[in-house]
Structure 1
Amino acid sequence: IRCSHNPPSEAFLAACDKLGMLVIDETFDMWRKQKNPQDYHLYFDEWWKKDVDAMILRDRNHPSIIMWSIGNEIPERGEPEGAETSKMLVEYVKQLDSTRPVTAAVNGLWPDKDPYFATLDISGYNYSAGGDHGQKDIFEKDHKRVPDRIMYCAESYPLEAYGAWMDAVKYPYVLGDFVWTGFDYLGEASIGWRGYPHDENYYPWNQAFCGDIDICGWKRPQSYYRDVLWEVGNQLSIFVVPHKPSFPVKENRADWSKWHWHDHVAEWNWEGFENQPFEIKVYSGHEKVELFLNGKSLGIKETNHENQFIATWQVPYQKGELKAIGYKGETVKATSSLQSSHIPVKLKLTADRSEIQANGQDLSFIDVEFTDEYGIRNPKSENLVNFEISGPGKIVAVASSDPMSAESFQQPLRKAWKGRCLVIVKSEKMAGEIVLTAKTEGLPDSEIVIVSK
């Protein structure tokens, strides 16, 4: 995990220690030159040393941290004074901790950045694949120019996922690929769909919508694609290209703005489009894939580097089940399906933790889903859900993954999006049963019990 662009919480680092995650701990997003009029450049000279002290002295005993980062896309990165500031920062970091390498994330990847990179132990390349530098095979070129430079992709576009990861696989001097971004966030609203430039009113967009994981913690399509590239999990998933774009399309999106993913949705509910063809995309890490519609084979296709592990079919819509089977030779290795859902009959509540600590801090994240009689989530449901709570706990947040929702995160109600929403319950300093009740018009109330100990 590369933290951006400031140190994380202590609880975050403790979790990384426990889980075995590797972390780049990062300080600054600017130094003496501004990105915005009221940003940190106003305080850098007075505060940089205190802030470096605060990060390293607090965090250096965390085994999860493998590198210190002194900056991200620093405006003076290609200027002599930028290299001097970097040298100053690196020397000071090493006074506090000489055991870890120092890095920074750099964009505008031209040779004028060489003096800056020379001050670092490891060089972070932002958007090495398909970036605004316009160069192909930039790692290979820079390795020939500077053979001793150790590099990694410090940020990569979702749309360049294949190329960015293949660079890490191919070149031994490239350590890996950090994606922008792992977890979605509020701010830089709509860059994952509308992109840049931000030259018009884009309200009510408020989420970036570029994360592999959305703000509720649910995987987005590109995350399933990375399962294939990284060879983890099921490595098989089905998506549909809708006839109408999921959101209004921005006409003048810059060609370098690639924080979006393809408009692929995990839905097989398309009433009104019966027998009309839909483009089906299957992400597969297996040698070949067979696609079925309601038990009938639609053929077998190979998935490999030539098609970047994505197989494509044209399938006329029929309600029922789309099923993919991944094979190695003749052996079934994985299955995946999309099923049409019926009218919702139930609110399904699922907690990530049914027992929490009565310490006034512990949390339970509860998924709320509109499901049919077979337990299948209906992705078209957007009903309002009201929440009530009793016992020694409180609702601290509600959310959905709708990037254009302007609803409150704190009021005890939320509209579903894609058939689901999220509620977060926090314990109090008293043991007992916490009962969360979800209510929506036309369906019976649902309850879930969280035990606080």
Structure 2
Amino acid sequence: MIRAAAVDVCGYNYMLPAYDIDTKKNPNRIIFGSETNPPRIPQLWKYAESDPANLGDFTWTGWDYLGETGVGITNYQGKMTFSAPYPALLAYCGDIDLTGYRRPLSYLREITFCLRKNPYISVQLPQYYGADAKNTPWAVTETVRSWTWNGFENKPVHIEIYSPGDSVALLQDGKEIGRAALENHRVGFETVYMPGKLEAVAYQGEQEIGRDCLTTAGPATQLFIHGWSGKKLTFIEIQAVDQQGLPVMEGEHQIHVELDGCMLDGFGSGDPMSIESFREKQHTSCRGRALLAVRGRGTVTISADGLKQCSISC
């Protein structure tokens, strides 16, 4: 690697197997992961922590983006492809989706960095249970942080848990259904879906170190909204919730906005297959969520069929 000798610090794109080899051959070389696959962060970070010559890691990618369509979309027909055809719009490989919502892999990263003490539960889509799921190196089989799967009662589901510690126990409605060792902060469980409560307990040896739980939500009754105002734009997070305020991630909604005194700058969701415009006053939610950006000061009224209307000033 003649070019590597000409720089003070050498970036490695998708070259994890070369880390040990190159630093042993070149003991004075300083390296870093300049572009790496998100699911491999536990392995990558072990090198960054243990090797003084390794400065750290940059994942591809932190935030989802338009283009390279489908590189992170799970294929359930057993086909390994780098991209997805129309109507795919997003790469769908970000730790954070297009609207700023954290996806499950971001929690694996947080746990790997020792920034989260509790485990994190998510569930594979039950309609694809047993399917021949294929993913590129930039993705894992899609999971959703929800224990609300109407129509799949008494059907098998796969649960994915990211966690600190060395093992995790999974409880369903208070009854332990399994305990398993973690591998690179990950472990999977199989169970049968029934509405109720799902709880993960993380252990280091026999000592409990953290918990996480999911509870079945009721029907969506209203929209939760929260806004952040900057110098020019206000971003408004929109989420369908039940009467208790729990997010409802199934049953998408056509969300409408009315503006008084301010202007629409963008309106969309994290759906990688959406063909809807970002410049219209209505958009379909994805997992019950959407994000609105408005310019200027005024009042925004947000509504969806069957849900309580709400307003916010910006």
Match 1:159 to one of 30, 35, 39: 39
Q: Select the structure that is richer in helix.
A: 1
Give the superposition deviation at 1:343: 1.2
Q: Which structure: greater strand fraction?
A: 2
Paired residue type of 1:179: T
Aligned partner of 2:125 in structure 1 is 242
Q: Could you tell me how far 1:301 is from its partner in structure 2?
A: 3.5
* Greater RCO, 1 or 2 (C-alpha within 8 Å, sep 6+): 2
Q: Does 1:266 align with 2:145?
A: yes
**Unmatched segments (≥5 aa) in structure 2:** none
Deviations along 1:23-73, whole A, 9 cap, x unmatched? Answer: xxxxxxxxxxxxxxxxxxxxxxxxxxxxxxxxxxxxxxxxxxxxxxxxxxx
Out of 247, 262, 265, the residue aligned to residue 396 of structure 1 is: 265
The answer to whether the 8 Å contact 2:226/2:237 transfers is yes
C-alpha deviation, 1:164, in angstroms: 1.8
Q: Kindly state the Cα deviation for residue 161 of structure 1 after the two structures are TM-superposed.
A: 2.4
Counterpart of 1:284 in structure 2 is: 163
**CA contact 1:235–1:286 (8 Å) conserved in 2:** no
Paired with 2:303 and 2:157, the residues of 1 have a C-alpha distance of: 35
Q: 2:110 aligns with which of 227, 232, 243?
A: 227
Shift of 1:237: 0.5
AA of the residue aligned to 2:36: S
Equivalence for 2:252: 382
CA distance in 2 between partners of 1:269 and 1:417 (Å): 15
Q: Report deviation, 1:238.
A: 0.3
| Among 175, 187, 201, the residue aligned to 1:311 | 187
Given candidates 324, 336, 361, the residue that maps to 2:212 is 336
Please give the root-mean-square deviation of Cα atoms over the aligned residues, in Å.
2.4
Partner residue in 2 for 1:326: 202
User: Which residue identity does 1:226 align to in structure 2?
Assistant: R
Q: Which residue of 2 aligns with 1:364?
A: 234
In 1, Cα distance between equivalents of 2:82 and 2:98? 23
Normalization by structure 2: what TM-score?
A: 0.89
Q: 1:316 to 1:249 in 2, by over 3 A?
A: closer
Do the aligned partners of residues 191 and 197 (structure 1) sit closer, same or farther apart at CA in structure 2, a change above 3 Å counting? closer
Q: Distance in 2 between matches of 1:163 and 1:213?
A: 20
Q: Please say if residues 133 and 141 of structure 2, whose CA atoms lie closer than 8 Å, have aligned partners that are also in contact.
A: no
The amino acid that maps onto 1:369 is Q
Tell me what 1:441 maps to: 305
1:329 deviates by 5.8
Larger-Rg structure: 1
Query: What secondary structure sits across from 2:22 in the alignment?
Result: helix
The residue aligned with 1:186 is: 66
* Unpaired stretches in structure 1, ≥5 consecutive residues: 1-113, 130-135, 429-433
Q: Distance in 1 between matches of 2:69 and 2:35?
A: 18
Residue of structure 1 aligned with 2:14, choices 127, 135, 139: 127
- Tell me the amino acid that sits aligned with residue 222 of structure 1: L
Question: Does the 8 Å CA contact 1:123/1:150 hold for their aligned counterparts?
Answer: yes
Q: Please give the alpha-carbon distance, in whole angstroms, between the structure 1 residues aligned to 2:122 and 2:306.
A: 30
Of stretches 189-198 and 382-391 in structure 1, the one that deviates more from structure 2 is 189-198
Counterpart secondary structure, 1:211 = coil
Query: 1:348 offset after TM fit, Å?
Result: 1.2
Partner of 1:150: 30
Q: 1:210 to 1:249 in 2, by over 3 A?
A: farther
